[in-house]
Amino acid sequence: MASSGLQLLGFLLALVGLATTVAATLMVEWKKQYQGKTHRIYEGLWMSCSGNERTTCEFHQYLLKLPSEVQVTRAVLLLSIILSTVALLVSTVGMKCTRFMDGNPNSKSTTAMIGGIMFLIAGLLTIIITSWYVNKIVKIFNESHRLHSYEFGNAVFVSWAGGVLTMAGGAFLTCRRCSRSQGGSISSNHLLPANTHSKSNYV
């Protein structure tokens, strides 16, 4: 039971991490700039918004004209989301609380571990590309005129959180020690009645 509980916890953490990563990818506030006291400009991976109290948004029209940090970050986050989606399906097959591959517990455990490794890679990709994006924005901010340069926005924190949650879920899914200890406890329970029965014969 302990192993299936850890697997379920890891699956839920990875699922929340995937949803958080998707939300961060769609958020507009990856870069922000304030012009004066009221006018705000936000730029995301897919669209940009500007305005005072009411903001208007429009999608990026030309892919090749986008800054390199936007193009690379968008591509890597999409790869991370696709990898997490595949890991979600693989982990569902390998989890003990599902009925897939019940006749082969070793293959089932290996499948769950493979799904966990895929989650770990996806979360690591999210964390690395988000950190690289922040580093690029900070570098551009320091090299240019700070009053007319962008700062990184709240979306990067959401993306970091998504990567950490995905990696945490993958770590729980790759844990096989609990399943082994559970198997050992079951085998010992099977031996106990035999030992007590043999002792009763001596009495």
d(CA 178, CA 7): 10
The domains located in the chain, with CATH, are 2-29+66-186 (1.20.140.150)
This prediction's pTM: 0.77
d(CA 33, CA 49): 11
pLDDT of residue 182: 43
Average pLDDT per block of 10 residues along the chain, 203 residues long: 70 93 92 74 85 77 78 93 93 72 68 88 95 88 67 89 94 66 41 44 45
pLDDT of residue 50: 80
- What is the side-by-side order of every strand in the sheet holding 31-35? 55-59, 47-51, 39-43, 31-35, 151-152
pLDDT of residue 202: 44
d(CA 86, CA 80): 10
φ and ψ at residue 151, rounded to 5 degrees: -115, 160
pLDDT of residue 3: 67
- Please identify which residue in the block is written with the tokens 């429009």: 58
